[in-house]
A and B are shown apart, each in its own frame.
Chain A
Amino acid sequence: MGRYVARRLLQMLPVIIGTTFLVFALVTAMGGDPVQNLYGERPVPESIRVALTAQYHLDDPLPIRYGYYLAGLVQGDFGTSLSGSRPISEMIADAWPETLRIAGIAFVFEMIIGVAAGVMAGMRRGKFLDNLVLLSTLTVIAVPIFVLGQVSQIFLGVKAGIFPVSGTNEGFVSYLLPGLVLGSVSLAYIARLARASVAENLRMDYVRTAKAKGLSPSRITGIHVLRNSLIPVVTYLGADLGTLMGGAIVTERIFNIPGVGYNLFKAIQIEDGPALVGFVTLLVIVYVVMALVVDLLYAVLDPRIRYA
């Protein structure tokens, strides 16, 4: 077990190096002019261009620039952002908790409501509740997230005043609505996944055997069926948590949450290579760790899976 984890963690290194280099290469390949982007539509004085180019090694070939970056990274220095010249580590430290909060709310919301709705629908196939779940999940999947976000902001925030309209200055409540909006699409997928999985497992031989042995229905579904049905759901949840933590550009923008998505958007806009690579590195680490956690959870759900 321990060795398995260690091996998986070591495998992260080449992945991180590979992805950061890829992002670096892509930003360079954009062939834009980050210095001019900083100035918007104003002319850039020659001397400033020279100074900034030297400061950020913009005129060095890609491998050398990447070398500078790695050398910094090894020393725990993510570099400085082109816009506003803030240390990127500081930007990550500010943005990351914001994203975690809405991701956490979205995750809990989709896990509890999604699994519950899916299991109930799976148990009562073809009944009213099942149809209701199918219809509502279809609707949510069909509506783009920016529509969902803006409509809920206007109706629940501006008109009804139930939630704060935007921002993060009312503590937990501020993150509630963006969290719910962010989790809604995944919730729909999870409900459908759980429904299909439960329905399939209910037809299995072991369920018939358990019934014949006289086990109570609640024990059959609650322990046996549920545990077996949750494996695909857990896989999806794990991957989704990675996605959620990667920040949500659209949702964060609508609700004005200064998280990872907002920073990524800004960095892409002005071709801010260092910031982009810094945040992407973070996302890669999150994804790899989440994949590991999901794999370990399989063992909990299904004892036949062992990582010896």
Chain B
Amino acid sequence: MRGSKMVGCAIVVALAATACGGSGGDSESKGSSGGGFSMNIAEPKRLVPQSTTESGGSQVLSGLFTPLVDFDAKNQPVLAAAESIESPDNKVWTVKLKDATWHDGKPVTAKDYVGAWNWGAYGPNAADGNYFFGTIQGYDEMNPVDPDGEEGPKKAEEPKAKELSGLKVIDDKTFEITLKAPFAGYKSVLGYTVFYPMPESALTDLKAYEEAPIGQGPFQMDGKWNHDKFVKVKAYPDYKLGEKPKVDSVEFRIFQDQNTAYNDLLANNLDIVDQIPTEVMGTAPGELGDRFKTSQASTFQFVAFPTYDKKYSDARVRKAISMAIDRDEIIKVVFQDSQSSARSFVSPVVGGYREDTCGEACKFDPAAAKKLLAEAGGIEGNKINIGHNADGGHEQWINATCDQLKKNLGLDCVSQAVPKFAELLTQVENKKFSGMFRMGWIMDYPSMENYLGPLYSTGGSSNYYGYSNKDFDRLLQEGREAKTEAEAIQKWQAAEDILAKDMPVIPLRFGKNVFGHSTNVKNVEMNLFNQVELTKVEKS
């Protein structure tokens, strides 16, 4: 029996070891440590600028890097890392850089920008931000498509080029971008995460680089990215590209669940929560007092009509459905005022936004809605459905919307859940989904064009419902090629007016940043990209 005794002992030892093995207290317990603060993020997918499009990674990188342009209070681009961004014809853009150094002391050069962008644009690298480079000349040569579709036996061919022909290094501090087509608002595009540079050394071993990215921004890494736990950064002493941070350090704590982060905020263990969970929206203003904050965000939620579904082919039917929805009530009851009603086709955060462009069609008027539907001859089968992805938490508001439609139009309305958004899109693309479906959009750069193009132009990247209008496309393109911003906006507004007539989608809600902070910090602001402005935060 000696053997079995030993087994018993081994178990006891193992248990003791695991239960007593603390993690060695590798971080401060309190939210504020010395001159720093902490905030919550979700585990970043990657920390490579060209491959970071989700909020957790972007938030960290916004501290480590300075973009070429930033945005002022009116969401107009202002130069940040760039000395100047000029173009005679809006097609060839010359970018001059300010003097700056990487966190390891080496100077930032034009090569660092061009190299990083080329890496991002090269298809086989599968960078998440790849499509942002699609407007630059030479992108297509780097991103061949599968000749016979995904299902076919033929493999996609090798890319013909490894570098964007539209990117040229002029000298150490200057490079040139040639676009496929003129675009007056291109300066605004360059404010996004994927246009950050990377030091040349990064490209030789990206895996090693992203564990502790070297940037040229106000903060530098403090230690390595501790996966699923935290990322720490500290102020970079030689920062010259803009405002220096008012704190010594920031700890990005990785949370799985917003509710937990919120509880940590209540206990003053965490300084900033960038999103108050909907569950506590009712109690949070009371619990946080003036530390409960909201600001305008770029999110746009709407319901789309697939053009292949004949049920909704009459614009009067689409307008009637829109008029029968009481947006304000849903926002109050379901969202506890954490969003605002949408009655336009572009978000209020972009230049050229006008209130109520949707006009009558977005005003809640059940009587008129009923009349209009009757004029259009009602709806086939007297039954409609609204599709959504079950993992997105949309059930509640869709049910509320359905209840309103039942009550106000006398229709039968069903919410149809598909497990995941990807599946919903696949069904729509294969014309298998019948009915309306929900959609959401977050902008990439603050311009009307970034709503109009992807969402409503023929073949737009997120135009899954197949809306197509030649006049709209023409006006959109004319706006892109306009000489001045003012002229561009005029064209785009004319394009938006077409949408109000056609009603390809029902605008429902614009998002807000709803955030909160502890008693340790003040001046907490969030920008359009749903990010906390790290350099503005002060200790209180």
| Residues of chain A whose beta carbon lies under 8 Å from any beta carbon of chain B | 1-2, 32-33, 35-43, 45-55, 59, 83-86, 91, 94-95, 97, 100-101, 103-105, 107-108, 150, 153-154, 157-158, 161, 164-175, 179, 252-256, 258, 262, 265-266, 269, 293, 296-297, 299-300, 303
Contacts and interface: CB of A to CB of B under 8 A. Distances in A.
24 contacts: A32-B423, A36-B426, A40-B421, A41-B421, A42-B53, A45-B134, A50-B145, A50-B150, A84-B44, A101-B21, A101-B22, A103-B18, A166-B260, A166-B261, A169-B27, A169-B229, A252-B256, A256-B257, A256-B260, A258-B229, A269-B391, A297-B8, A300-B4, A300-B8
Interface residues of B, number: 74
A94 B269 contact: no
A94 B228 contact: yes
Contact of B146 (A50, A153, A269): A50
Contact of B426 (A33, A168, A256): A33
Interface in B9-51: 11, 15, 18-29, 43-46
Contacts of A91: 227
A51 B125 CA distance: 7
Contacts of A262: 228, 256
B84 interface: no
Nearest to B15: A104
Nearest to A46: B145
B420 A108 contact: no
Contacts of A59: 150
A253 B125 contact: no
B156 A169 contact: no
A296 B297 CA distance: 61
Contacts of B144: 47
Contacts of B46: 84-85
A170 B22 CA distance: 8
B260 A47 contact: no
A169 B26 contact: yes
A172 B22 contact: yes
B313 interface: no
B124 interface: yes
Top 3 A-B pairs ranked by shortest CB distance? A171-B22, A36-B422, A47-B123
B126 A52 contact: yes
Given A36-B420, A154-B263, A157-B267, 5 more contacts: A38-B128, A47-B130, A50-B156, A166-B263, A171-B23
Contacts of A54: 155
Say what secondary structure dominates the interface of chain A: helix
B490 to A, nearest CB: 28
Contacts, number: 188
Nearest to A167: B253
Given A164-B29, A258-B228, A46 B146 contact: yes
Given A39-B128, A172-B22, A46 B143 contact: yes
A28 to B, nearest CB: 15
Contacts of B531: none
Contact of B423 (A33, A38, A52, A169): A33
Contacts of B264: 165-167
Given A153-B263, A256-B257, A269-B391, A104 B18 contact: yes
Contacts of B422: 32-33, 35-37
Contacts of A37: 420, 422
Interface in B442-460: 454
A54 B3 CA distance: 51
Nearest to A161: B267
Nearest to B389: A41
A277 B421 CA distance: 23
B45 A168 contact: no
A59 B155 CA distance: 11
Contacts of A303: 1
Interface string B142-182: 11111000100001100100000000000000000000000
Contacts of A157: 263, 267
Contacts of B146: 46, 50
Nearest to B439: A41
A166 B261 CA distance: 8
A293 B423 CA distance: 44
B134 to A, nearest CB: 7
B353 interface: no
A293 B11 contact: yes
Given A50-B156, A165-B269, A297 B7 contact: yes
Interface string B282-302: 000000000000000000000
B237 interface: no
B106 interface: no
B425 interface: yes
A100 B18 contact: yes
Contacts of A48: 123, 126-128, 130-131
A182 B261 CA distance: 20
Contact of A41 (B123, B426, B440): B440
A83 B3 CA distance: 45
A274 B212 CA distance: 25
Nearest to B206: A85
